[in-house]
Structures are given as C-alpha cells and as structure tokens.
C-alpha cells in the first residue's frame, strides 16, 4: 500500500487490475474482506470499503452467504472506463515531457509506432 | 459477552494480593524465623544462666511482633504497587479496596490462628521445656487462647491498615503533606495523653492501661482500625494513579 | 455501530497547566482509532480520564452511555495499557496474566499463550528484570488477550524491534477481524500504524486538531514541486503547510486536495504531484500554529 492516497481506493484499483489482466475472471470469487486485510495488513473496514466501492459500480456482486463475485461484463466495463482516462493518465504526462525536451510531435508518434511493433 | 459481577471482580482484587509471596510466604518466613531466633536466644541464656529456675523465672520475648512489622510493611507495599489500575487492570477504587481489605482480613485471621497455635504449642511444651515464651504471654492468654487469637488478628489488621493508609496518604497528598498529617496525628495523640495525664496523672493513665483486659484491648483496637478503614477509602476515592 | 466513547468539553488542568483544553470528540464502536500528537499533547491524559483513572477538571465522559468513573458496569469492559505500565516488582509475567484473567471477563488464555510464544517472552524472569521490549510485550499481551470492549494502547511499541512491532500489528488485526472491538492506539510511529487505523484524532497542546477518517485525511493534502509561479497558479488560496526552495524550484505542501481540473492544470504546467503520507501531514499540522483544521477547510 502506498501512503498519501486513500487506502480503500488503492484496494479497489488492485482488484480492478486483477480483473483487467484476467487473473480474476468473471464469475469468480473475489478475495474476501479478511483475506484482503491480512494480505495487505490493513484494517478490515478499509478493505470492506474498497470492495463496496466496486459493488456500487457493479464490478463485484454479492452472493448471500458465499461472498463477493466478479460481475458478468465487469471486464468490459473496466476496459471502457480505463480507456476513457487513458489519454489523460498516460498521454498527457508523456506529451508534457516531450515538449520540455523539445521533441517534435511527428518524432514522438514515430517513436510510439516503432515501440509498439 | 461474559458479564463481570461485582463479586467476581472483588474476588479478583482479593486474589491479586495473593499472586505474589508478599502477604503469606514472606511474613510466614519472618514468623518462623523470628520465633526461631528468639528460641535460640532462650536456649543460649538457659545454657549460660545455670543458676536460673525456669519455673520461677520464665523468659518472655517479642518474637511474635516480627511478622506484624513485616505485614505492616507488606501492606504498605501492596498499597504502593497494586493500585486499582496497576498492571493494566481496571478495577473501580471501591472494588479494589474491598478486595484488598478482604485480603488483609484473611491474612489477619491467618495470623490470629498461627498465633494461637504457637501460643498453644508453647503452653503445651512449657515453653519448650525451658519456659521461654514468645506467644503465650500471660497477659494475652489471661482470658483464654480464643481471645488471644482475636487480639492478635485485630493487631494485625490494625498495623496492615496503618501501613496501607500511610501509602494512600502519600499517593493522594505527596510526601511533604503526608509527613505533615503524620506529625499532626502524633501531636493530637500526645496532646490527648498530656490532657489525660494532667487530669488523672501518669498513674491514672497507666492504671487504666494495666487494667485493660485483652477483651477490652481488642475493643479499643477496633476503633483506630475502623477509622483507618474509612480513611483509606476516603483517600483512594479521589486518588489518581502515577 | 454506535458510539463507544463520548467526550464533551473535557478539560484537565494540573495546577495552572492545561493538559486538556475543552476537548470534544467521540470514538465509534468497533473501530481502530489512532490517537496522535506530539509529546505532551494530552494523549495519555485523555485516555486516562476516559478509562476512569484520572479525574476531569471540567466536562463529561460517557463510555457506552455511562460515566466510567467508579462504574463497575463499564470498567471491566475497558483496558488501558500504559506506556510505562507498572507491575508488582517481584511478579513474573504469569502472575500478571493470572491477575488479568481474573479481572477481565473476556480474557482469552489461548491467545495469551500464543502471544507468549510469538514474542518469546521468558516466563521465569521477574518483570522488573525484563528488557524494555519484553515489558512492552507483556503490555501488548494483556491488551490483546483481555478482549476488553475498549482497549487503549499507549505507545505500546517502546523497546520492541521492527519484527516484534509487525507481530503486534498483525496479531492486533487478526484478532480484531475475529473479535471486533474498539481500539485506541496512541503512537508516534504513524507510518507503521497508518494501515491499521480508520479514524484519527490529532491532539495539539490539549486541543483537538483533527478528528476524521484516515482515508479522508490522506486526501487532504498534496505536495507540488515545480516553479513557484506555476505552483501558485494551481494552489490558489490554499493554506501552505510547508514550503522549501531549491534555486527556482519549490516544494510546497498545501492543505486541500486537487480536483481533476487542477490536476490537469498541474500536469500542463509540468508540476510534480506527490502524495502526502499521514505521518508527514500530522507533522505539518502539529507544527502549525494556532488555526484548527476547521478554519483551514473554509480557506
């Protein structure tokens, strides 16, 4: 856990990451509050808050008596929302750095293309 | 959750005082050693003083007092080391005091019984054959061993409370004020003695003392004991730890 | 969940010195609270009064709705482990644990035994011969195994090495997960206890400086690094907690998180945004003179 950001948000993000990279599939059981708490050595209430954040957004669903499960369509939903913030989160800082270095846009685009292949 | 009854908590405070050897084993050792040392002296005197007639000149010593002073000290120690909130415990002052005083009472009863047994042994063996007595003091046994036991127990209760109350005084008021209070009490007692002496003379006072039966002494011992009990509660009621 | 402890307008004066000055704060039940502040801020005074040990000069304390002082309905449900907890000189750890098992109705002997093994506590040594860390272990064991509804740990880690401290935090979390209860930890090692605590009360010179959830507090401050004019542009009227300069570069920690627009603007201006840990934030807030966080919120 990194300090300076709400822990429950970080917990939610880590579960999202697992869903996005496929290590946590749709319909699978998500880690429980206590599992998360003891793994990250955090307060169970904080872990619960992180899970609830995902329940509110429909990423996780609660099955009574069984625990939390990854919702159908969660993967797609996360991809969509992460795509929306991709430019802001990753491209903006890159472009700012490029400008500071005096790189011209075509050169940057070229670099991206070369790296991608 | 489990509920704590006041009774079980008072018992816990009572037991607290017997977890360490302070109130039983240490005074017990002093009891035996004090007696043994006094007996040793008796036998030594008996060996040296060959012209002594044991029956006509019995020997008496105060070996029976040693455990009393030890217990006074231990009671003071208990007061300073087992406050209601010591060892991270959480007793109300009332419950703590009730448990502690019950522990003192139990020790006093124990002392009374031990005293009677010792006095009985001395009587039975004629002072171990040489008429040396520490417990079977004629005055104390004049109304029977039962009364002896009660007087011993009351004396024990009194000295323990004295030690305990002085520490409570110290906890509540600090060192200087404690001394002031002790000096004030001594002054009051001296003034009372002086007043009595001017009225009835020394012989009157000593006559009164000499005339006290053990039973009456027992009654008079209860007065300061009760005063000290009330004082210790009044002191602990608003005292703070540390 | 409800409130476990309610403190209203509490003051405690030792002669003319105010240890606590008009403190009003409440502690929610079944929550781990961090009670923070510099030495002499009033943490121990506050815990001592709530635990019914010390007496308030003014104000009120309610524990589970009742006055704690001399109240046997409440006192057995509370355990306050002092930083320099006193024990009987000649007692061994076993004596102290027996005393606690008698006094606390929820005492868990199995847990105590497990912790004794975890901490490698020598049971045959008298307590006054134990090292500082071993005495802290005794205190930690009492505080955990008593399972009191409300437990106060006053700087429980003194003398414990990093591994033993982590052991304490782990066991605390484990047992808390199984047996939720109200725990108040006072500590200077804020980074260490930060993941444990949900709610923070920060005291400063006897007054409440912060009373809010740990996660909210984490987002209350931000550090920006860059050119001063650019930083000024982004922070606007926010209160500056700390400002350091290195040539034309400044590092400024301000109160009040950045909104999405402001974050974008900061990136445009090539400012580095760094999070502020609870430890840093508490240090900054404690160092600040006068103002409370309430006045800062309005700014």
Tell me how far apart the alpha carbons of residues A35 and A47 are, in angstroms, rounded to a whole number. 9
Minimal CA separation from A39 to chain C, in Å: 10
More confident residue, A31 or B212: A31
Instruction: Name all chains with 3 or more CB-CB pairs below 8 Å to chain B.
Output: C
Q: How many domains does chain C have?
A: 2
Which domain does B134 fall in, by range? 6-173+212-237
Average pLDDT over chain C, rounded to an integer: 90
Confidence at residue B161, expressed as pLDDT on a 0 to 100 scale: 92
- Closest residue on chain B to C179 (Cα): B1
Side-chain-side CA neighbours of C160 within 13 Å: the count stands at: 25
Tell me how far apart the alpha carbons of residues C93 and C100 are, in angstroms, rounded to a whole number. 11
B237 contacts B82 by C-beta, under 8 angstroms: no
Query: The pTM is what?
Result: 0.84
Residue B225 confidence class, pLDDT cut points 50, 70, 90: confident
User: Taking Cα atoms as reference points, which of C137, C149, C65 lies closest to residue C106?
Assistant: C149
The answer to whether residue B181 is domain-embedded is: no
Confidence at residue C289, expressed as pLDDT on a 0 to 100 scale: 60
Give the pair of three-digit tokens for residue A75.
Answer: 């993967």
Ordered strands of the C58-63 beta sheet: C17-28, C3-14, C58-63
The answer to whether residue B59 is domain-embedded is: yes
Q: What is the pLDDT of residues B118-166, one digit of tens each?
A: 999 988 888 888 888 888 888 888 788 888 899 899 999 999 999 999 9
- C88 and C179 fall within a common domain: yes
Q: How many CB atoms lie within 10 A of CB B144?
A: 11
Which domain does C175 fall in, by range? 3-214
User: Taking Cα atoms as reference points, which of C80, A48, C224, C165 lies closest to residue B85?
Assistant: C80
Confidence at residue B234, expressed as pLDDT on a 0 to 100 scale: 85
C32 contacts C183 by C-beta, under 8 angstroms: yes
From residue C61, give the alpha-carbon distance in Å to each of B139, B237, C27, C227, C242: 57, 18, 11, 50, 36
- C253 and C232 fall within a common domain: yes
**Chain A residues with CB within 8 Å of chain C CB:** 1-9, 34, 37-38, 40-46, 49, 88, 92-93, 96, 100
From residue C95, give the alpha-carbon distance in Å to each of B20, C19, C251: 7, 34, 55
User: What are the phi and psi torsion angles at C79 (to 5°)?
Assistant: -135, 125
Give the CATH number, domain containing residue C225: 3.30.70
Minimal CA separation from A35 to chain C, in Å: 10
Above 70 in pLDDT, residue C191?
yes
Give the CATH number, domain containing residue C22: 3.40.50.300
Q: What is the pLDDT of residues C102-154, one digit of tens each?
A: 999 999 999 999 999 999 999 999 998 999 999 999 999 999 999 999 999 99
A7-74: what fold?
Arc Repressor Mutant, subunit A (1.10.10)
Give the residue from C197, C214, C231 where a domain finishes.
C214
- C147 and C268 fall within a common domain: no
How does DSSP assign C110-128, residue by residue? Answer: HHHHHHHHHTT--TTS-GG
Nearest to C79 among B12, B90, B238 (CB): B90
Average pLDDT over chain B, rounded to an integer: 85
> Hey, are the CB atoms on C173 and A37 less than 8 Å from each other?
yes
Give the residue from C161, C194, C214 where a domain finishes.
C214
Nearest to C275 among A4, A38, A41 (CB): A4
User: Taking Cα atoms as reference points, which of B65, B219, B72, B218 lies closest to residue B148?
Assistant: B218
Average pLDDT (C237-247) is 88
Give the residue from C166, C192, C214 where a domain finishes.
C214
Give the pair of three-digit tokens for residue A42.
Answer: 């955090």
User: Taking Cα atoms as reference points, which of C231, C273, C275 lies closest to residue C249?
Assistant: C231
Average pLDDT (A39-43) is 90
User: Taking Cα atoms as reference points, which of C121, C196, C195, C197 lies closest to residue C160?
Assistant: C121
Buried b (16+ CB within 10 A) or exposed e, C88-110: bebbbbebbbbbbbbbbbbbbee
Residue C299 confidence class, pLDDT cut points 50, 70, 90: very low
Above 90 in pLDDT, residue B39?
no
Confidence at residue C283, expressed as pLDDT on a 0 to 100 scale: 87
Distance of CA B142 to the CA centre of its chain: 21
The answer to whether residue B232 is domain-embedded is: yes
Interface of C with B in 41-80 (CB under 8 A): 48, 51-55, 70-72, 75-80
- C110 and C91 fall within a common domain: yes
Strand partners, C32: C183
Q: How many domains does chain B have?
A: 1
The answer to whether residue B70 is domain-embedded is: yes
Residue C46 confidence class, pLDDT cut points 50, 70, 90: very high
Nearest to B92 among C48, C75, C102 (CB): C75
Give the pair of three-digit tokens for residue B62.
Answer: 């105060």
Q: Which has the minimum average pLDDT: B202-216, C58-72, C211-225?
A: B202-216
> Hey, are the CB atoms on C76 and B82 less than 8 Å from each other?
no
Above 80 in pLDDT, residue C89?
no
- C125 and C267 fall within a common domain: no
Tell me how far apart the alpha carbons of residues C89 and B66 are, in angstroms, rounded to a whole number. 23
Confidence at residue C65, expressed as pLDDT on a 0 to 100 scale: 94
Is some CB atom of chain B closer than 8 A to the CB atom of C148? yes
- Closest residue on chain B to C101 (Cα): B12
Give the pair of three-digit tokens for residue B63.
Answer: 């070996």
- C119 and C205 fall within a common domain: yes
Q: What is the pLDDT of residues A55-78, one digit of tens each?
A: 999 999 999 888 899 999 999 999
- C157 and C292 fall within a common domain: no
> Hey, are the CB atoms on A96 and C267 less than 8 Å from each other?
yes
The answer to whether residue B18 is domain-embedded is: yes
Give the three-state DSSP class for C138.
helix
Q: Which residues contact B74 (CB under 8 A, 6 or more apart)?
A: B22, B23, B26, B27, B160, B163
DSSP code, position C151: E
Q: Which residues contact C114 (CB under 8 A, 6 or more apart)?
A: none
Establish whether chain B is in contact with chain A, requiring a minimum of 3 CB pairs below 8 angstroms: no
> Hey, are the CB atoms on A5 and C169 less than 8 Å from each other?
no
Above 60 in pLDDT, residue B1?
no
Give the three-state DSSP class for C225.
strand
More confident residue, A65 or C77: C77
Average pLDDT (A6-32) is 92
Q: Please report residues of A whose CB lies closer than 8 A to that of C267.
A: 92-93, 96
Q: Highest-confidence range of B52-61, B136-145, B176-185, by mean pLDDT? A: B176-185
Give the three-state DSSP class for C57.
coil
Confidence at residue C296, expressed as pLDDT on a 0 to 100 scale: 46
B20 contacts C127 by C-beta, under 8 angstroms: no
Above 70 in pLDDT, residue C1?
no
Tell me how far apart the alpha carbons of residues C159 and C155 are, in angstroms, rounded to a whole number. 10
> Hey, are the CB atoms on C215 and A6 less than 8 Å from each other?
yes
Above 80 in pLDDT, residue B3?
no
Confidence at residue C297, expressed as pLDDT on a 0 to 100 scale: 46
The answer to whether residue B179 is domain-embedded is: no
The answer to whether residue B169 is domain-embedded is: yes
- Closest residue on chain C to A100 (Cα): C270
C270 contacts C248 by C-beta, under 8 angstroms: no
Q: Please report residues of A whose CB lies closer than 8 A to that of C268.
A: 92, 96
Give the pair of three-digit tokens for residue C92.
Answer: 């061994």
Nearest to A3 among C194, C268, C270 (CB): C194
- C204 and C227 fall within a common domain: no
Minimal CA separation from C208 to chain A, in Å: 22
């Amino acid at each position: 856990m990194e300090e300076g950001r709400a822990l429950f948000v970080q917990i939610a993000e880590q579960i999202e990451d697992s869903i996005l990279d496929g290590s946590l599939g749709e319909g699978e059981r998500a880690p429980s509050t206590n599992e998360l708490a003891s793994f990250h050595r955090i307060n169970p209430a904080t872990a619960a808050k992180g899970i609830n954040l995902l329940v509110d957004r429909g990423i996780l669903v609660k099955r009574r008596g069984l625990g939390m499960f990854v919702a159908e369509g969660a993967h797609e939903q996360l991809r969509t929302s992460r795509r929306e913030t991709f430019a802001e989160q990753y491209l903006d800082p890159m472009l700012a750095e490029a400008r500071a270095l005096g790189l011209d846009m075509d050169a940057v685009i070229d670099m991206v293309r070369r790296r991608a292949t | 959750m489990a509920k704590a009854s006041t009774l079980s908590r008072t018992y816990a405070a009572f037991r607290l005082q017997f977890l360490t050897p302070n109130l039983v084993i240490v005074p017990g050792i002093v009891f035996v050693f004090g007696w043994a040392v006094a007996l040793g002296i008796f036998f030594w005197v008996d060996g040296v003083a060959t012209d002594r007639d044991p029956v006509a000149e019995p020997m008496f010593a105060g070996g029976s007092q040693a455990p009393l002073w030890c217990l006074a000290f231990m009671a003071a120690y208990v007061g300073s080391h087992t406050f209601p909130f010591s060892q991270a415990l959480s007793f109300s002052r009332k419950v703590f005091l009730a448990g502690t005083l019950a522990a003192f009472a139990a020790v006093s009863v124990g002392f009374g019984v031990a005293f009677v047994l010792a006095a009985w042994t001395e009587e039975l063996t004629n002072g171990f054959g040489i008429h040396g007595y520490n417990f079977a003091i004629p005055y104390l046994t004049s109304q029977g061993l039962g009364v002896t036991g009660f007087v011993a127990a009351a004396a024990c209760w009194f000295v323990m409370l004295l030690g305990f109350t002085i520490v409570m005084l110290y906890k509540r008021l600090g060192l200087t004020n404690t001394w002031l209070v002790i000096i004030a009490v001594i002054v009051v007692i001296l003034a009372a003695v002086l007043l009595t002496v001017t009225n009835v003379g020394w012989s009157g006072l000593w006559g009164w003392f000499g005339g006290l039966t053990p039973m009456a002494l027992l009654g008079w011992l209860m007065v300061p004991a009760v005063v000290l009990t009330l004082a210790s509660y009044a002191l602990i009621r608003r005292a703070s730890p540390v | 969940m409800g409130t476990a402890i309610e403190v209203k307008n509490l003051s405690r004066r030792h002669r003319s010195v105010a240890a606590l000055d008009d403190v009003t704060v409440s502690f929610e039940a079944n929550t781990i609270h961090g009670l923070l502040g510099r030495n002499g801020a009033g943490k121990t005074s506050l815990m001592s009064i709530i635990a019914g040990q010390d007496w308030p000069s003014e104000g009120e304390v309610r524990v589970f709705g009742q006055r704690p002082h001399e109240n046997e309905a409440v006192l057995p449900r509370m355990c306050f482990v002092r930083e320099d907890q006193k024990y009987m000189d000649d007692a061994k750890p076993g004596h102290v644990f027996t005393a606690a098992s008698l006094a606390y109705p929820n005492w868990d002997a199995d847990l105590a035994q497990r912790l004794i093994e975890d901490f490698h506590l020598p049971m045959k040594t008298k307590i006054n011969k134990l090292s500082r860390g071993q005495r802290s272990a005794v205190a930690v064991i009492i505080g955990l195994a008593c399972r009191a509804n409300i437990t106060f740990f006053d700087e429980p880690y003194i003398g414990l090495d990093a591994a033993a401290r982590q052991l304490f935090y782990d066991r605390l979390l484990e047992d808390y997960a199984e047996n939720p209860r109200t725990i108040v930890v006072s500590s200077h090692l804020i980074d260490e206890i930060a993941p444990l605590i949900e709610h923070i009360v920060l005291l400063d010179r006897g007054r409440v400086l912060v009373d809010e959830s740990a996660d909210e507090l984490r987002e209350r401050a931000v550090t920006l690094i860059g050119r001063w004019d650019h930083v000024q542009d982004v922070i606007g009227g926010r209160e500056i907690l700390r400002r350091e300069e290195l040539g034309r570069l400044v590092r400024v920690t301000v109160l009040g998180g950045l909104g999405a627009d402001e974050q974008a603007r900061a990136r445009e201006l090539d400012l580095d945004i760094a999070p502020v840990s609870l430890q840093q934030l508490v240090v900054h807030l404690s160092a600040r003179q006068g103002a409370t966080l309430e006045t800062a919120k309005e700014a």
